[in-house]
A and B are shown apart, each in its own frame.
Chain A
Amino acid sequence: MGSSHHLLVFLMFLHYAVGFTYNCVKILPDSSSSIVVEVGKNFTATCHLLEGCAYTSDDIEWRLGNLSIAKQSYHRINETAVSVTINISSDMSDWLKCTAPKESLSYKPRSIYGIFLRAGYPPLKPKNLSCIAVQEDKDISPNLNCSWDPGSRNPLIDTTYTVYANVPGTVLTHKADCKQHLARFCVVNLETFPIHMVLKVWVEVKNALGSERSELQSDSSYFAKPNPPLNVQVLTEDKFPTSLVVTWKHPIDRTILKLSYAIRYRKVTSNVWIEVPESFTRGYIESFRLQSLEPYTQYVVQMRCIGESNSSYWSNWSPSVTERTTEAKPASAPDLWRIIRPTSNSRNVTLIWKAPVKANGKIRFYNLSINQNNEKFESHNITADNLSQMYSMELPAGKMASIEITAYNSAGESPKATLSIPRSDKELPGVKDMSWSVRDEKLQVKWTAVLPLPHPLKLSEYLLEWVKIPQSVHQKELPAGWQRVPKNVTVTTLNAGLEKFKRYNISVYPIYKYQPGHVWHFQPGRPVTRPAYVQQGPPKEGPTVTVTKSKKNSAELTWEETPLDSHQGFIIHYTIFYAIGNTKQWKSETVGPNVHSYVLTDLASETDYVVYVMASTEAGSVKGTDCTFKTMKYGDGEVEVIVVVVCLSFLFLTVFIIMICLRKREVIKKLLWPQVPDPSDSSIAHWSPDFPIKADLPKEDVSVVEVDVFDGKSLCEEDKGVLPLKKDKYLSEEHSSGIGGSSCMSSPRHSVSDSDEGDSGQTTSSTVQYSTVLGSGYKGQTPSHQPPAFARSESTQPLLDCEEHPDHLNESQSRSSYFRRGRELEPGVLAPECDGGSLTFCPVQEEEPSPVAEEPPASALCYMPQKSGYRPQ
């Protein structure tokens, strides 16, 4: 049971499978490959039900690709055939299928049949077929290059282009298959170019929808393209400045292709070619003379050739050949002009000129002739070169000059150019007004026409002059130019190549003419001049500002105008920027272009400021260098007031002190000069002022103070200075020293200083008068044979340090151990060992003599005991 069931299922599957592939429909037309159909045309296909097919025509369905075709397109032919008609479009390359679909739950087999449609266009006829065989060496190439226009329509299907060529009458036909899609050109090899034969060439285009062909038939020379003429040369001929001879060689033998030639020429400076009429060059020639040319002008010549009677293609143009015609004498006069610069008592006239427009050659030199006050003044031959086409001369203001100039080249002289320069007070009127503007980067100048002048002066033309300023010192050429315009013109554009950012002075002169004799004379009128720029730019550099006056609240700034060459335009204003130190809080002031100093006000006192000036043109601005300044602390007169007040105050104070001193002079006197007891008035002893002092002093009693060396280095410089003096004194005035020493040794009551001791407060360098006081006895000690005497020493020996500084007494005491007796000291050692610290004498006590007698105090520490230095009192 199970196996039979499986077998049944297998048989059903087999039946279904066979039924699925069973086909009982067929389409006509049929093809094993694709069927090419033409776009735009109707295509009809018929689906036939084969015999034994279970379907009817009603079951048939048409599909193109995956899309069903509308039933309206069906046409039922009979029970077993249904046709369909479709209009072919370019996108219909697809399967056209006829199906008899299986109904659901039906055992009827499904049938389907399809043909592949390929839509396309028939080929278009090639247009403009042309074939060229170029010259190779001395023959024509057998390779025929053919080209044509295949049209713009894509045929969508495979299309072939084939070129054929043959000589009619021969059986041999050459052909070339062009492989490219929509081929436009092809090369067919003829093996041998059929010279002097008729050649027939055609291109055939084919595809499944048709074929087209284009044909050419002509003498073979029409397909040939010769090379340009060989060895083209251009020759000049002396004495024929207006002609050139062109020679060449035939590029190909006349037995192959007889050529005629075409010549064209142009000036080197022009782009326009002039072609010699073909009728002039017809014939198998190898030279031609170009005529009516301009003398001394470079011409470019080219040639090409073609088969006679235009029986071939034109060759290419030959390479250019350039030649210059020979010279002829100048046909026009030089263009003469002058530039006048007035000087203190004369005029500096610079004559400048341009070569004749029709120079017809290279100008060798100029002949310049100058007449002053109708008398021949000077004549020069000036070599023609670009650097020396000018001549300067001095012309007194009261003289007129007439200048003539002639140009010469190798062929002859030019017509004469004349120019008159009137006296300074005889200038003719100029134009009334003049203005300029910039148009297309060129200067356009406009002026008002001059009024007519009385006979015989006539207005000849206007002359526009431009002079670059400032003129460079090193410039050899005059930076000027001029341009002449007809007299009926009042506006024109300067054709000069004016530099940008440079200033020019533009002048308009009316040129008058008159005819005193047979020759016309030309005289310019008064000029009207304006400065101008063809293009302005920002200044090259800014002005450098300096502060000329700085005050408490203001500062005066000054800046110099920058060089004109760096302006690059008209300065329209200056702007002053200033700020405090580094605050960057800039303030600005704008002043006119002619202002070059300015006073800044409202500044803070004693403050650092930074300032700069910016110059501006209409095209931009540029700042100058920074300048730093500081405002003053005091204003004008403040210092003076303070000084005066202080001085007056001091004066008043001085006067006041003097007044006080005068009033209190007794008190001051007592303070300064205390009362010294007069010995004569002494009630203790009698004063004998006439007692000889020195004579009776025993020399052996003189004690010489010897100073021991303490420390040589400690000797002060001041002491060094006075050392010789001290030495002398020490050695020669033993009396004085001894007295000094005695004053120290003796009781203060006996050693009384003179009143001059009030000056003891002076410095050590000052001189001090020493007194020798000779006691006449004290408390009953009567001198043996000497009356008491008082002598004043006239010594100028300076006080010793210890004398000057009594406060150092204590120290002196400690140092006193260094004092030695005279015989223990070498005299020569004394001076250098004078030291402030060691070389001390005991000062004279400036105290008032104490009435109380005391024992010799510490003097013992200061001096060594003098056993024999003093006489016993």
Chain B
Amino acid sequence: MNCHVMNMVCLSQRSQAKFRIILPILILIAVELVHPTMSCKNEKCSQLLHRSLKLTRLMSKRSADLLETYKASQGDSADLICDMQMDNVPVSTISGQTMSERILSVYTHLKEFLPHMKTVMEQQKDLNPPINPVVEGLHSMITHVHHIAQRVNCILQILQPNIPIPEPAERSTGIPPAQNIFQQKAYGCIVLSRLQELLSQAVQEQKSLKGKMCKQRTKNGSL
């Protein structure tokens, strides 16, 4: 009996010891899993907004340049192909009533555009030499749009810290099916055009946060 009791005590002591070891590991894993959100807290609110705005403004400008480069590389029918209508390309319209909703819309749209940009890049690799200004620009643009999305995510975390940010499903917006070359060119042009529009609106949305977001956070005492 005593032995059983002792065994029970011993067992409970052993499990506590194991828990002490496992718990930090679990916490560490959890921290690592939520690493993206944790990185936002390395920066001050104003600094975050400032850098995000600068990056978005830069990419807005570069997307315009990239669109021009794209058009120039597609031949004489560039204007024609860019006027075509395609339904399966994300729209650039920012929706929402509140500041948070609009920033979330920006974030969602950015995420939606990323797979389309990758598709255009792959198509351009096939249409043109693998290394050309359009492909290089797209490759760089994809990285930077990722970074903008990350910044906007951080802004969203500040704007609505208690609400989880919905991640758009991969390829949920529907990548267009097999296309001919003309369609590919038109598709690429539309994607870049709408991306440029989106980034321009994103700049405006972030500008509108100036003087509001960080002031609000300061009042709340978080930053």
A interface residues, Cβ below 8 angstroms from B: 167-170, 191-192, 194-198, 217, 219, 253, 255-256
Contact = CB atoms under 8 A, between A and B. Distances in A.
Interface string B133-173: 00000011001101100110000000000000000000000
Contacts of B151: 196-197
Given A168-B42, A198-B42, A191 B51 contact: no
Contacts of B42: 168, 198, 217
**Nearest 10 Cβ contacts at the A-B interface:** A168-B39, A255-B58, A196-B55, A169-B39, A192-B143, A169-B36, A196-B51, A192-B140, A169-B150, A197-B147
Nearest to A142: B140
Contacts of B39: 168-169, 198
A761 to B, nearest CB: 143
Contacts of B61: 253, 255
Interface string B49-63: 001101101100100
Contact of B147 (A167, A217, A219, A253): A167
A195 B40 contact: no
B43 interface: yes
A191 B121 CA distance: 15
A196 B143 contact: no
A195 B144 contact: yes
17 contacts: A168-B35, A168-B36, A168-B42, A169-B35, A169-B36, A169-B39, A170-B150, A191-B143, A192-B140, A195-B55, A195-B144, A196-B52, A196-B54, A196-B58, A197-B151, A253-B61, A255-B58
A195 B54 CA distance: 9
Interface in B55-95: 55, 57-58, 61
A326 B87 CA distance: 69
Nearest to B58: A255
Given A168-B35, A169-B39, A194 B58 contact: no
Given A167-B147, A170-B146, A195 B35 contact: no
For B42, B143, B144, B150, the residue with the greatest tally of chain A CB atoms inside 10 Å of its CB is: B143
A191 B55 CA distance: 17
B170 to A, nearest CB: 14
Contacts of B40: 169
Contacts of A169: 35-37, 39-40, 150
B143 to A, nearest CB: 4
A256 B151 CA distance: 16
Interface string B17-53: 0000000000000000001110110110000000110
Q: Is the interface of B mostly helix, strand, loop or mixed?
A: helix
A167 B52 CA distance: 14
Given A168-B35, A168-B42, A198-B39, A191 B139 contact: yes
A255 B54 contact: yes
Contacts of A195: 55, 58, 144, 147
A168 B58 CA distance: 20
Nearest to B54: A196
Nearest to B52: A196
Nearest to A168: B39
B154 to A, nearest CB: 8
Contacts of B54: 196, 255
Contact of B36 (A170, A197, A219, A255): A170
Interface string B206-220: 000000000000000
Nearest to B61: A255
Nearest to A139: B140
Nearest to B143: A192
Contacts of B140: 192
Contact of A196 (B35, B146, B147): B147
Contacts of A198: 39, 42-43
Contacts of B35: 168-169
Nearest to A190: B143
A169 B143 CA distance: 13
Contacts of A197: 51, 55, 147, 150-151
Contacts of A219: 51
Nearest to B35: A169
A417 B39 CA distance: 77
A326 B113 CA distance: 60
A253 B59 CA distance: 12
A219 B55 CA distance: 12
Contacts of B150: 167, 169-170, 197
Given A170-B147, A255-B54, A255-B58, 17 more contacts: A167-B150, A168-B39, A169-B40, A169-B150, A194-B143, A194-B147, A195-B58, A195-B144, A195-B147, A196-B51, A197-B51, A197-B55, A198-B43, A219-B51, A253-B61, A255-B57, A255-B61
A169 to B, nearest CB: 4
A28 to B, nearest CB: 28
Contacts of B57: 255
Contacts of A253: 58, 61
Contacts of B36: 168-170
A197 B55 CA distance: 8
A198 B146 CA distance: 13
Contacts of A194: 143, 147
Contacts of B143: 191-192, 194
Nearest to A197: B147
A198 B38 CA distance: 13
A253 B35 CA distance: 32
Contacts of B144: 192, 195
Contacts of A191: 139, 143
A255 B144 CA distance: 13
A475 to B, nearest CB: 71
A197 B48 CA distance: 9
Contacts of B147: 167, 170, 194-197
Contacts of A255: 54, 57-58, 61
A758 B68 CA distance: 156
A58 B58 CA distance: 81
A869 B39 CA distance: 180
A191 B139 CA distance: 9
User: Which residue among A167, A219, A253, A255 has the maximum number of chain B CB atoms within 10 Å of its CB?
Assistant: A255
A297 to B, nearest CB: 42
A219 B150 CA distance: 14
A196 B151 CA distance: 10
Nearest to A217: B42
A256 B58 contact: yes
B200 to A, nearest CB: 14
A167 B39 CA distance: 9
B191 to A, nearest CB: 19
A167 B146 CA distance: 11
Contacts of A196: 51-52, 54-55, 58, 147, 151
A190 to B, nearest CB: 9
A168 B61 CA distance: 25
A578 to B, nearest CB: 96
A191 B57 CA distance: 21
Interface string B105-117: 0000000000000
A216 to B, nearest CB: 13
B98 to A, nearest CB: 25
Contacts of A217: 42
A605 B39 CA distance: 119
A438 B35 CA distance: 80
A198 B55 CA distance: 12
A217 B140 CA distance: 22
B136 to A, nearest CB: 9
A219 B151 CA distance: 13
A670 B33 CA distance: 178
A168 to B, nearest CB: 4
A198 B151 CA distance: 10
A142 B61 CA distance: 20
Contacts of A170: 36, 146-147, 150
Contacts of B52: 196
B62 to A, nearest CB: 9
A192 B141 CA distance: 9
Nearest to B136: A192
A503 B32 CA distance: 89
